[in-house]
A and B are shown apart, each in its own frame.
Chain A
Amino acid sequence: AQSVTQPDIHITVSEGASLELRCNYSYGATPYLFWYVQSPGQGLQLLLKYFSGDTLVQGIKGFEAEFKRSQSSFNLRKPSVHWSDAAEYFCATGGGIKLTFGTGTQLKVEL
């Protein structure tokens, strides 16, 4: 069965520092991969997605992610974090129309 693992439950970074959130997937064929962000008390918003093609995907709010088949990873990056990026980040995968989410990584930003 398809699944994703987010190894980091909490991450704290200083404002202006770079960020990388890890996501590993388990799926036999080419996976469909997503990153969503959930701000406190809010619903989920799509940051970016990967279906095929260019393995470096650009998203909203200055985020990007790189699909690496050899490492079964789809890590999310941002070169310079803003205080407003503090939120819960979810990696997700789906081979049909059903999405399976990781357990999330909570990002805290120190000013």
Chain B
Amino acid sequence: DTAVSQTPKYLVTQMGNDKSIKCEQNLGHDTMYWYKQDSKKFLKIMFSYNNKELIINETVPNRFSPKSPDKAHLNLHINSLELGDSAVYFCASSQRTGRPDTQYFGPGTRLTVL
């Protein structure tokens, strides 16, 4: 009965490969997010979707492409992986109420690019 789940938990891959991370929430929330946490623990938002519509797209290389097949799922596909993409990626969700609401985070996916 995990609220926000991500797969895989760990991902080790070579430079230049393409990989995907999946996220699912069973909270009935309308809004989902992807955050990147670098090696210094700094958290930065990458994308946000509200009911399958992209509403936040920070300055992220276009090698990163989020996809939301329905409002309970938000996947992140990364093309041509680079060393600098190594980080922990967190998915989160919230019930959009027109103001910041509690964001519920998944356990994270640790991506290591070799």
* Residues of chain A with a CB closer than 8 A to B90's CB: 43-44
Interface size class of B (residues with CB under 8 A): 20 to 34
Asked if A97 and B42 make an inter-chain contact with CB atoms under 8 angstroms apart, the answer reads no
**B43's closest neighbor in chain A, by CB?**
A101
Q: A44-B90, A51-B99, A88-B41 are in contact. Are A98 and B48 (CB under 8 A)?
A: yes
Binds A, one of B64-72, B73-81, B103-111: B103-111
**B50's closest neighbor in chain A, by CB?**
A97
Contact of B100 among A43, A44, A96 (CB under 8 A): A96
Q: A97-B48, A98-B48 are in contact. Are A43 and B43 (CB under 8 A)?
A: no
**A44's closest neighbor in chain B, by CB?**
B105
In the complex, which residues 70-111 of chain A have their Cβ closer than 8 Å to any Cβ of chain B? 88, 90, 94-101, 103-104, 106
Interface of A is mostly: strand
Asked if B106 and A43 make an inter-chain contact with CB atoms under 8 angstroms apart, the answer reads yes
Interface size class of A (residues with CB under 8 A): 20 to 34
Is A45 interfacial (CB 8 A cutoff)?
yes
Contact of A97 among B4, B44, B96 (CB under 8 A): B96
Q: Which of B31, B50, B96, B107 has the most CB of A within 10 A?
A: B107
Q: How distant is the Cα of A88 from the Cα of B90 in the complex, in angstroms?
A: 15
Is B94 interfacial (CB 8 A cutoff)?
yes
Is B55 interfacial (CB 8 A cutoff)?
yes
* Residues of chain B with a CB closer than 8 A to A103's CB: 40-42
* Residues of chain B with a CB closer than 8 A to A94's CB: 100
**A45's closest neighbor in chain B, by CB?**
B105
* Residues of chain A with a CB closer than 8 A to B99's CB: 32, 51, 96-97
Asked if A49 and B45 make an inter-chain contact with CB atoms under 8 angstroms apart, the answer reads no
* Residues of chain A with a CB closer than 8 A to B102's CB: 34, 46, 49
